[in-house]
Amino acid sequence: TVGFISPKVHFILKKAVAVELHAVLPQLICCVSCAFIHRWKLNDSFILPRPGSRYSLMGGNLHISHLNKEEDVGIYQCLASNSFGTIVSREASLHSRILQLFSSWVRWKLRLKSHQGDGFMLIPAPLFSFTELTFTWIFNEYPSFVIQDTRRFVSQKTGNLYIAKVEPSDVGNYTCVVTNTVTKTSVQGPPTPLYEPKIEVQFPEVVPVAKSSTVKLECFALGNPVPTISWRRVDGASFGRKVDINKASGVLEIPYFQQEDAGMYECVAENSRGRNLVKGKLSFYAAPHLTEKPQDVQKTIDDSLVWECKASAKPKPSYRWLKNGESLDPMEVNNGLLTISSLNLADVGMYQCVAENKHGRIFTNAELRVIAIAPDFSQNLLKAQTLARQGGDVLIECKPRMSPRGVISWRKGKEALRESHRVMVLDNGSLRISNVTKLDAGIYTCVARNQFGVASSAGSLLVKEATSITSPAGHLDVTIGESIVLPCQVSHDPTLDLKFTWFFNEQLIRFGSHGVYFEKVGGVTGDIMIRNIQLQHAGKYTCAVQTKVDSVSIATDVVVRGPPGPPVDCRVTAVTETTASLSWGPGMDNHSPILSYTIQARTPFSLGWQAVTTVPELLAGKQLSATVTDLSPWVEYEFRVLAANSIGTGEPSKPSNKSRTKETLPRVTPARVNGGGGGRSELVITWEPVPDELQSGPGFGYVVAFRPLGAQGWMQAAVTSPDASRYVFKNESIPPFSPYQVKVGVYNNRGEGPFSPVTTIYSAEEEPSRAPGRLRARSISASEVEVTWKPLPWSNNRRRILGYELRYWGEKEKQEAATVIRTVGNKTSVLIRDLEGSSTYYMSLRAYNSAGEGPQSSTVNVTTKKPPPSQAPVKIMWNTSNSKVILKWDQVHALENESEVTGYKVKRQTPTSFIDSNSTGNTGLAPGPFLPTTELANFTDKLFSKDVVPDPEVMMPNITE
């Protein structure tokens, strides 16, 4: 197969130099002997390289030496050939150095009609080049170049230098420099004089622009003051981000030109004296681009070929086809579609589709191979064994490879097979047998013939018994939670293996991935079990049984009965102060009739959903509306409905929209109305606030009423806060500790509600007026002090004594940091513990009641006793006598800061307890330390040793019993 990329489109031709034209060949799909032959054409005539000529071939490249403008300029094309055919490249044009073609720039010359003719332009000598040129102007002498700005402009299309407004600084000599961007050579023209241009606009009416190219539009105006240049599209469309406008030089650049960029463009030049504009149209064109290519094919003789070639272009392209570099008959080509019927060997070769319009031409290649071979079964032998079901149909395929297609016949055993209404040879050569019987078993041979030879292939047909399902199709009606078995038992040919597959609602059941519900029962049957069946398991179950020769299936419909589904469209239709009317629709009954409905409600104050009272009280299965009663006024409610049948209660409906009951007079009074206490001349009244859900409307508050016990009229006060729980009436005329009757009512925006029951409370009492007398303090030990006093009278008509407050502090502490002990009731003594030994403490006492504390008593002080001895007795000795133990020890002498030793304390240990024994009295101090436990243990171990001799000089108490 041959394929290559065509040469470059343009070349620069210079005198006395050599050039090469390259045809680049990609990968070659051919044998090693497939050598390439390359030929070149110039202006449709073959170039014949000869020894000593200016033309030579280097690989596939054409080399031309000593170029001649008259002989070598023209259109070149390369042809590459091998044993598979010939293809041609697209054309390449070779030009001389000075040519006429230019890049796609548009020139619009524009001058404002200003007076005095003060705008000028300089025109260089005529010079044209096929490659892109750049123009610059020298002012006076090199390297002083003319700098472009809003007043001066150099056209890169014509090379003209425009001066919008000539100033004195412009006087001088101007020289044009033209540079070829390809060869990098420059030409310098002669000095050019200034002259006044003609007032005219020169531009093509329509400028064609190639797809994806870059377009530059130039616009410059002469005038005084210097004109400003602006651009716009006549259709009003805005410029995209890619468009670049150089306001200083008046150049509009459109890169990557597309169809949407085509249209009419307008340049506007204006100054304070006038305005002028010029228009030009850019049209879009695109060279052909292939969108569908023919592919290499291999066909058999007498077959047909259809190749389609499509390209996108503007204007639309025309198509032609080449075979081995030569044009095909146009009769075989229809708008890019090539059709060849009844192929023969002469059609073999390389084909090329050429799509072209006036802007370009594109080639695509494809190879056609035509095969002619004798019948061959090596790649497609008949199956060695074909299994068929008795009573079924069987197809034995026969697909030999041969070209052209010949005749196919069949034999059974050694006899030619006769066709009948059951036995038929199909058009493609395969054998079809219908309603197969045991007699059809045997060896079958397919024979293929054409003009190049004969071949055959054989295989055996085995007839098996049909498979059938013995379990009847059925209908199962079950209750949710039950477990059921779906049977699938079969009779089949014992030589064939069975495969069972189950489907649920036509979806494959994947055992193990459907949770714990589906389970194969096991054995040779295909039975399955559904455990703990649920509502979603209702549907059609299909058991499919498959062998190598046939497949059968059976379906069972399973109905699952369960609690009803949730009711639908639960809505509130009307509300009053204490009722709400509801309606709903029935949900799925899940194959068991709905027997009753239940309504539940929820408020912002309730703990979840609660059942409510309805009218009618019992909601039967056909009841789809009800009235909920005993609601609280002015509370926002949500409702839901649950349905029940003989199996159970189903899921609740979606909650209704929130609805608020209407407001009404409050009906609930505060609980636990009480009071008393407070400061002097105060009456304190307390109560438990009414919960929000029982306030019956907005603007809720309390009315507090009170009067002296026995009085007729009530005094009242309003408390506006619904969360208030206390009211204090303060008046100097209120006698202390006097009984009052109080009650608390409620109100809201609708009016006043009821009052609570009347309760008797007392006004604030006076604080105690006297201090307790006879305050005494006595040290009991190093850490304890007992304080006593004479009590005040317990009560009178103005005050009570609720208890006493004792304050004490150490000599190193301030009185403000004193420790406070409060007693309750008519108690007259306090024991202070955890004090420091040998320390002085100060204390004072005062009585208190609900009004506060009374005056403070005089301050007394007390010093705690010294600490007990810190040393334990030593040198313990003992003796036994019958039931007595005689102990003795060394006397303990107290230290200077310790209390005097006045006695000893002995403890004896039994197996379950210690028993104390005091030898003598003491001063009331705590005892000193005992003998350490370890020593005591040693002592008890030796207690009954007969070797112990007591010391008669030591105090020895007797331990008896």
Return the pLDDT at 342: 85
Q: Is 496 inside a domain boundary?
A: yes
Does 181 share its domain with 251?
Answer: no
Return the pLDDT at 227: 83
Tokens of 364: 């695509």
Q: What is the pLDDT of residues 691-735, one digit of tens each?
A: 999 999 999 999 999 999 989 999 999 999 999 999 999 998 888
The 3-state DSSP class for residue 330 equals: helix
**Position of tokens 């079964």?**
377
Tokens of 479: 């209750």
Task: Say whether pLDDT at 264 is over 70.
Answer: yes
Q: Find, among 959, 960, 955, 958, the residue nearest to 888 by Cα.
A: 955
Q: Find, among 573, 542, 546, the residue nearest to 557 by Cα.
A: 542
Return the pLDDT at 146: 84
* Residues 307-327, mean pLDDT to the nearest whole number: 90
User: CA torsion, points 833, 837, 840, 842, in degrees to nearest 10?
Assistant: -10
Tokens of 831: 């024991």
Does 504 share its domain with 544?
Answer: yes
Q: How far is CA 556 from the centre of its chain?
A: 42
The residue range of the domain holding 624 is 568-661
Does 219 share its domain with 276?
Answer: yes
The 3-state DSSP class for residue 567 equals: coil
Does 344 share its domain with 400?
Answer: no
Q: Is 101 inside a domain boundary?
A: no
Q: How far apart are CA 49 and CA 47, in angstroms?
A: 6
Q: How far apart are CA 790 and CA 61, in angstroms?
A: 137
Q: How far apart are CA 729 and CA 740, in angstroms?
A: 12
CB 183 within 8 A of CB 12: yes
DSSP secondary structure letters along 260-287: GG-EEEEEEEEETTEEEEEEEEEEEEEE
Q: How far apart are CA 631 and CA 601, in angstroms?
A: 10
Return the pLDDT at 224: 74
Q: Is 236 inside a domain boundary?
A: yes
Tokens of 523: 């054995």
* Residues 512-524, mean pLDDT to the nearest whole number: 74
User: CA torsion, points 653, 655, 656, 659, in degrees to nearest 10?
Assistant: 150
Return the pLDDT at 867: 87
The 3-state DSSP class for residue 683 equals: strand
Q: How far apart are CA 696 and CA 668, in angstroms?
A: 9
Q: Which residues fall within 8 angstroms of residue 793, CB to CB, at 6 or more apart?
A: 801
Q: Is 202 inside a domain boundary?
A: yes
Q: How far apart are CA 578 and CA 600, in angstroms?
A: 15
The CATH number covering residue 807 comes to 2.60.40.10
Tokens of 502: 């189950």
State how beta strands 215-220 and 251-254 pair.
Answer: antiparallel
* Residues 394-405, mean pLDDT to the nearest whole number: 90
Count of alpha carbons within 13 angstroms of residue 568, beta-carbon side: 6
* Residues 346-369, mean pLDDT to the nearest whole number: 90
* Residues 330-343, mean pLDDT to the nearest whole number: 81
Q: What is the pLDDT of residues 485-513, one digit of tens each?
A: 999 999 999 999 999 999 999 999 988 76
Tokens of 954: 């030591």
CB 644 within 8 A of CB 563: yes
Q: How far is CA 903 from the centre of its chain?
A: 88
Does 680 share its domain with 609?
Answer: no
Does 758 share its domain with 780?
Answer: no
For the ranges 127-131, 252-256, 359-363, 762-766, the lowest mean pLDDT is seen at 127-131
Return the pLDDT at 20: 44
Return the pLDDT at 242: 84
DSSP secondary structure letters along 302-323: T--EEEE-EEEEESPPEEEEEE
* Residues 99-116, mean pLDDT to the nearest whole number: 35
Q: What is the pLDDT of residues 5-57, one digit of tens each?
A: 333 223 333 333 344 454 433 322 333 334 678 889 888 788 888 887 888 88
Residue 581 CB neighbours (<10 A)? 15
Return the pLDDT at 955: 43
Return the pLDDT at 219: 82
Residue finishing a domain among 188, 214, 238: 188
- The share of the chain scoring above pLDDT 70, in percent, equals 83
CB 406 within 8 A of CB 448: yes
Tokens of 408: 């196919």
Q: What is the pLDDT of residues 266-297, one digit of tens each?
A: 888 888 888 888 888 888 888 898 899 999 99
Return the pLDDT at 96: 63
- The DSSP bridge partners found for residue 321 are 353
- Helix H, strand E, coil C: the string for 531-546 is CCCCHHHCEEEEEEEE
Return the pLDDT at 515: 60
Q: What is the pLDDT of residues 575-618, one digit of tens each?
A: 999 999 999 999 999 999 999 999 999 999 999 999 999 999 99
Give the amino acid at 818. Answer: A
Identify which of 127-136, 139-148, 322-331, 721-730 has the greatest average pLDDT: 721-730
Please give the residue that has the higher pLDDT: either 185 or 642: 642
- What's the whole-number average pLDDT of the chain? 82
pTM of the shown model:
0.46
Backbone angles phi, psi at 782, to 5 degrees: -70, -20
Task: Say whether pLDDT at 164 is over 50.
Answer: yes
Return the pLDDT at 688: 96
H helices of 809-944, in order, are 933-941
Return the pLDDT at 5: 30
Q: Is 396 inside a domain boundary?
A: yes
Cβ burial of 147 (10 Å; 0-12, 13-18, 19+) is exposed
pLDDT band per the 50, 70, 90 thresholds, residue 778:
very high
Q: What is the pLDDT of residues 819-876, one digit of tens each?
A: 999 999 888 999 999 998 889 999 999 999 888 889 999 999 999 988 888 888 888 8
Q: How far is CA 893 from the centre of its chain?
A: 88
Q: What is the CA radius of gyration of the chain?
A: 61
E-only strand ranges, 436-538: 442-450, 453-464, 468-469, 474-479, 484-486, 490-491, 499-504, 507-508, 518-520, 528-530
CB 220 within 8 A of CB 124: no
Does 206 share its domain with 164?
Answer: no
Q: How far apart are CA 904 and CA 954, in angstroms?
A: 12
Q: How far apart are CA 64 and CA 73, in angstroms?
A: 11
Angle (CA) 140 146 148, round 5°: 165
State how beta strands 751-755 and 759-762 pair.
Answer: unpaired
Q: How far apart are CA 848 and CA 825, in angstroms?
A: 10
Q: Is 778 inside a domain boundary?
A: yes
Residue finishing a domain among 260, 282, 304: 282
For the ranges 127-136, 558-567, 891-900, the lowest mean pLDDT is seen at 127-136
Distances (CA, A) of 453 to 446, 450, 778: 14, 6, 143
Q: What is the domain count for the chain?
A: 8
For the ranges 183-197, 733-747, 766-780, 938-952, the lowest mean pLDDT is seen at 938-952
Tokens of 686: 């307390």
E-only strand ranges, 304-391: 305-308, 310-314, 318-323, 326-327, 333-334, 337-340, 349-357, 360-371, 373-376, 385-389
In residues, how long is the chain?
961
Return the pLDDT at 85: 83
Q: How far apart are CA 731 and CA 738, in angstroms?
A: 13
Return the pLDDT at 718: 95
For the ranges 73-77, 99-103, 427-431, the lowest mean pLDDT is seen at 99-103
Does 295 share its domain with 255?
Answer: no
* Residues 88-99, mean pLDDT to the nearest whole number: 70
User: 637: left (phi > 0), else alpha (psi -120 to 50), else beta?
Assistant: beta
Give the amino acid at 449. Answer: R
Distances (CA, A) of 328 to 331, 341, 903: 8, 15, 146
Return the pLDDT at 154: 81
Please give the residue that has the higher pLDDT: either 945 or 766: 766
Does 516 share its domain with 547?
Answer: yes
For the ranges 187-196, 506-515, 678-687, the lowest mean pLDDT is seen at 187-196
Tokens of 839: 């320390």
Does 297 share its domain with 351?
Answer: yes
Count of alpha carbons within 13 angstroms of residue 144, beta-carbon side: 7
Return the pLDDT at 648: 94
Residue finishing a domain among 636, 661, 686: 661
Does 572 share its domain with 656?
Answer: yes
Q: Is 80 inside a domain boundary?
A: no
CB 468 within 8 A of CB 547: no
Does 333 share its domain with 418?
Answer: no
E-only strand ranges, 749-849: 751-755, 759-762, 773-779, 785-790, 803-810, 819-822, 829-832, 840-849
Q: What is the pLDDT of residues 654-677, one digit of tens each?
A: 999 999 999 999 999 999 999 988
pLDDT band per the 50, 70, 90 thresholds, residue 953:
very low
Q: How far apart are CA 777 and CA 788, in angstroms?
A: 7
Task: Say whether pLDDT at 408 is over 50.
Answer: yes
Q: Is 820 inside a domain boundary?
A: yes
pLDDT band per the 50, 70, 90 thresholds, residue 189:
low
For the ranges 473-477, 656-660, 881-885, the lowest mean pLDDT is seen at 881-885
Distances (CA, A) of 220 to 109, 155, 231, 268, 814: 6, 9, 12, 10, 102
